[in-house]
Amino acid sequence: MCDHCRRRQLGSGTRCVGEGALTARDKVGVQDLVLLDAHKSEGAVLDNLKTRFSVDLIYTYIGTLLISVNPYKELDIYSKKHMDLYMGVNFYELPPHIYALADNAYQTMLTEANNHFILISGESGAGKTETTKKILQYYAVSCPSSALLDTVRDRMLMSNPVLEAFGNAKTLKNDNSSRFGKYMDIQFDSQGDAVGGHILSYLLEKSRVVHQNHGERNFHIFYQLVEGADEDLLRQLGLERDTEYYNYLAQGECTSMKTINDKNDWQTVKNALTVIHFDDSDIEHLFGIIASVLHLGNIYFDRDFKGFAVLNSSPELRWVSKVLTKALSYRKIEAKAEEVLCPFTVDHAIYARDALAKAIYGRTFTWVVNHINESLENQDPARKTVIGLLDIYGFEVFYVNSFEQFCINYCNEKLQQLFIQLTLKAEQEEYEAEGIEWEPVQFFNNKIICDLVDEKHRGIISVLDEECMRPGDSTDLTFLEKLEEKMGHHPHFVTHRLANKKTRKTLERGDFRLLHYAGEVTYCVVGFIDKNNDLLYRHIKEVMQQSKNSIVQQCFLPDEGDGRRRPETVATQFRSSLQELTEILMAKEAWYVRCLKSNDNKNSGKFDDALVKHQVKYLGLMEHLRVRRAGFAYRRRYEDFLKRYKPLCPHTWPHWRGVPSEGVEKLVQHLGYQPDEYKMGRTKIFIRYARTLFATEDAYEICKHELGAGLVAFTLRGTLVNLHLICFCFYLLFYRFIKGYITRGQAKTTDNSEYLAFVRQSYLMRLRDNLPKTVLDKNTWLSPPPVMTEASEILRRLHLRWMVRKYVRGLTPQRKAQLQIKVVTSAIFKGKKDSYPQSVAMPFMDTRISKCYHLYPNIIIYSVPVVKYDRNGFKPRPRQLLLTQAAVHLAEEAKLKQSISYAALKGDSQRHGVPATQCTCWVPRHFSTHHTTSIFISLWPFHLGL
């Protein structure tokens, strides 16, 4: 049973095989390989894939695992129409599609509020990158939309061309091969809105910067810059518009490609950088770094009379600083308290140059990924759920396999181990949840190979690290000797010296061979030590720290260390990052996409059986199929099974009124299911054999046609018999309606009661669609018919009260306080101020208050003008009454006249030493809505002396 069907309960319920998967099986194979007869072999799987591929059905399921066969042509199955078709539909409701998997992962995430990931794997050129794009595009269209969310989604989508430009390259197998691993989290809020994202990158193939095999290219961005940049930018960067001119670009002898338009891609990348929020300065410095790598590659070294390296008079030198020029020719060695400059040999100088180029590009790539993450970062601290997309390099086998292929294939071993663990775990959990005994599944456990590579102190990585750090002359061949010494008896490891006579003929003396779960791969040890060390001389780092390029400054930080502590090797870093990735994935629900190449030549319509068979093997599809069919090929909720097949049993047709599981038991007994063919779980029926299900489906198809024919015959007979009765009833209804209309103005009678009911209903329906939207809307309310006058008025008042209540509840505390001040101001000034009508729309502020505001800035709670009357003559004098946190004050303009603390107010004015005969200040008694109301009321009886 698929994880999705175990978890999700949407719509009418889950189902493990849709009607399409059953009824279409004879035409284009089966949509779910689980439904193939259990006894059929790997050949049946291939035949099914080939049959579907021949009619452009490139997607097939194994449970919830999706197989995608690359057609090497455009198919009209990715339009907005197709996206809408798959939105919110149960997984097996429609034919297999990448949109079905993406949508169900999304819907399950919303339903259960948990995290998911989609693992996209396959050989280089199988379509992993394109599949990732399709998923991102689907979420961009199907998720809720707003201006802010559109910005986030635009940045997610536009991160792809930037990462492809800096991390993808043409290889022998793929014109747009990802030369790094990518894991991207898409973050969703509780409403399902995409609100952020984060990208992790793994093992960029930096060696490609300085060397490419014949028929391959460097990273796309180099060619895009040279071919697409305008003349002014090229002049500023000191570049020629000729990719053949640059050593780092021309080694593969295929700088231009018919399938790649570098000029157009350059415009796409420039636009994407702007969308992702790279500013002009960042873009300028970024292109400057790319140009500097090209200039470095064109620096050549000659030998002086002592055999040491000296820079030739290359025109590229004018683009390289004098300090860096010196750093590429000499090495700084610390000897006690002094530094000694030791000249390089030509080989050492070339190594230093290439190491610098790789370091600059690799660190810049990391900076680009970090900058993209900053632009995608979600600032809302509320809990988020995520869907992760893991687009990882596929298993690689070339004519010559080096350190990079060793790391990539080790990664695939770890993911295969995780894949089997998660699949077995999910299957076993469902069996336990349904109370069905779990039957162990036989499969190849590749833990023995993973341990061979990464076991601490004993694995190949540990031996390689020891050899890299060993003092003395360690070489690739001494590393191979150590492997032979420690791995000599391992069943999955062999070298030329350890092999038998037959195998020895296929191995060079500098090779070792590993028997992976996907098959044998031979690795050449040449370059393992250097690539694993990936060292950059400390004095060159110090030079780079002085760069004026802001990106380089961030990539080579001064606090990077004094160089005395040896950094971790590349293999060790990669092993640690894979361990962290495994922990991330283990905490999420898994979905899988397995991408297959249909042929090696990228020809549309061609299906290479041998190639596809090899991929089916090393992607572990047969193991996954065996796990999914561990005893039961099909399982379905009782309600769904009964709803579909109830016509096959007289006890369940047309309605079953009892418990669904009992109805299913009656149904399968009537169909003659044998005890070994099915099991009854707690919520589902489990059917062991696909043939049992197909027999049931065939019986249903026959029954459906018979039921349909009987229904048609019955309907025709009923129509002929009742036609005159229908006409007569229609006549009566029409007559009563007309008579009701004529007598509509009279008192309610039998003749007009139904017509008046129709009038009421019609008015209420029209009123429902035309209600006023605001309190101030006085004209929208529909005029009622006479019979609804009283009811209409009651409804109008109720609706008005509802809108007022809704408005009041929507007020923020700040807005509410402002309105309360307006109410008080209105009571104070109404009828006393000429400009009152024009000022009530503004928050109240007396200009006289502002003059004394500086007496108690930031602590005045309230201020109001009052009047003082002289004792002799009762001459009025304006004053300001100020209320602070601790006291009440009287002020004239900006001059403080008197203060009384609240603590001293305990009785009438006589108790405070204020003579009752003195003149008083009048305080407005009607102030009652502000939070200081109680203070005003307590002050009212007192005579405040001045």
Instruction: Tell me the pLDDT tens digit for each residue of 411-463.
Output: 988 988 888 778 777 777 788 888 887 776 666 678 899 999 999 888 999 99
Residue 177 is among the residues annotated as catalytic for this protein: yes
Residue 136 has pLDDT above 70, yes or no: yes
Mean pLDDT of 911-936: 40
User: What confidence tier does 909 reach under pLDDT thresholds 50, 70, 90?
Assistant: very low
- Determine whether the annotation assigns residue 215 to a binding site: no
Beta pairing partners, 391: 120, 182
- Supply the pLDDT for residue 424: 73
Share of the chain above pLDDT 70, in %: 80
- Supply the pLDDT for residue 134: 93
- Determine whether the annotation assigns residue 18 to a binding site: no
Cα dihedral 533, 534, 540, 546, rounded to 10, equals -120
B/e letters for 822-856, b = 16+ CB within 10 Å, e = fewer, are bebbeebbeeeeeeeeebeeeebeeeebeebeebb
Candidates 18, 29, 63, 125; catalytic one? 125
Residue 752 has pLDDT above 50, yes or no: yes
- pLDDT tens, residue by residue, 496-547: 999 998 999 999 999 999 998 878 999 999 999 999 988 888 888 888 888 8
Residue 21 has pLDDT above 80, yes or no: no
- Supply the pLDDT for residue 288: 93
Q: How far apart are CA 717 and CA 712, in angstroms?
A: 9
- Determine whether the annotation assigns residue 238 to a binding site: no
- pLDDT tens, residue by residue, 567-612: 889 999 999 999 999 999 988 988 999 999 999 888 998 999 999 9
Candidates 108, 115, 132, 177; catalytic one? 177
Residue 124 is among the residues annotated as catalytic for this protein: yes
Candidates 121, 124, 255, 752; catalytic one? 124
115 and 50 Cβ atoms separated by less than 8 Å: no
- Determine whether the annotation assigns residue 123 to a binding site: yes
- Determine whether the annotation assigns residue 508 to a binding site: no
**Residue 907 DSSP SS3:** coil
Residue 722 has pLDDT above 50, yes or no: yes
Tokens representing residue 693 in the block: 């299900």
**Residue 845 DSSP SS3:** coil
CA distances from 540 to 299, 339, 536, 548 (A): 16, 15, 7, 15
Share of the chain above pLDDT 90, in %: 33
Q: How far apart are CA 71 and CA 940, in angstroms?
A: 89
- Supply the pLDDT for residue 754: 76
760 compared with 479, residue with greater pLDDT: 479
Assessment of whether the complete model's pTM goes beyond 0.75: no
- Supply the pLDDT for residue 928: 35
B/e letters for 77-113, b = 16+ CB within 10 Å, e = fewer, are bbeeebbebbeebbbbbbbbbbbbbbbbbbbbbeeee
- pLDDT tens, residue by residue, 85-119: 999 887 777 889 999 999 989 988 988 889 999 99
**Going by C-beta distance under 8 Å and a sequence separation of 6 or more, which residues neighbour residue 725?**
none
- Supply the pLDDT for residue 860: 67
- Supply the pLDDT for residue 59: 95
Tokens representing residue 687 in the block: 């059917």
Candidates 216, 396, 404, 427; catalytic one? 396
Residue 394 is among the residues annotated as catalytic for this protein: yes
Candidates 64, 178, 863, 884; catalytic one? 178
Residue 246 has pLDDT above 70, yes or no: yes
139 and 187 Cβ atoms separated by less than 8 Å: no
- Determine whether the annotation assigns residue 127 to a binding site: yes
CB atoms within 10 A of CB 344: 21
DSSP state of 438: P
7 compared with 639, residue with greater pLDDT: 639
Beta pairing partners, 597: 70
- Supply the pLDDT for residue 674: 86
- pLDDT tens, residue by residue, 867-888: 888 777 778 888 888 888 788 8
Nearest 5°: CA angle at 785, between 782 and 790?
85
Q: How far apart are CA 37 and CA 416, in angstroms?
A: 25
- pLDDT tens, residue by residue, 667-698: 888 888 888 888 888 888 888 776 777 778 77
Q: Looking at the chain, how many residues does it have?
A: 946
- pLDDT tens, residue by residue, 260-294: 999 999 999 999 999 988 999 999 999 999 999 99
Q: How far apart are CA 22 and CA 463, in angstroms?
A: 54
**Going by C-beta distance under 8 Å and a sequence separation of 6 or more, which residues neighbour residue 818?**
843
User: What confidence tier does 707 reach under pLDDT thresholds 50, 70, 90?
Assistant: low
502 and 496 Cβ atoms separated by less than 8 Å: no
User: What confidence tier does 813 reach under pLDDT thresholds 50, 70, 90?
Assistant: confident
Nearest 5°: CA angle at 550, between 547 and 556?
60
Candidates 68, 129, 569, 909; catalytic one? 129
Residue 396 is among the residues annotated as catalytic for this protein: yes
Nearest 5°: CA angle at 856, between 855 and 862?
115
- Supply the pLDDT for residue 913: 46
Q: How far apart are CA 848 and CA 387, in angstroms?
A: 60
- pLDDT tens, residue by residue, 632-664: 767 788 888 888 888 888 888 878 888 888 888
755 and 744 Cβ atoms separated by less than 8 Å: yes
- Determine whether the annotation assigns residue 240 to a binding site: no
- Determine whether the annotation assigns residue 14 to a binding site: no
- Supply the pLDDT for residue 291: 94
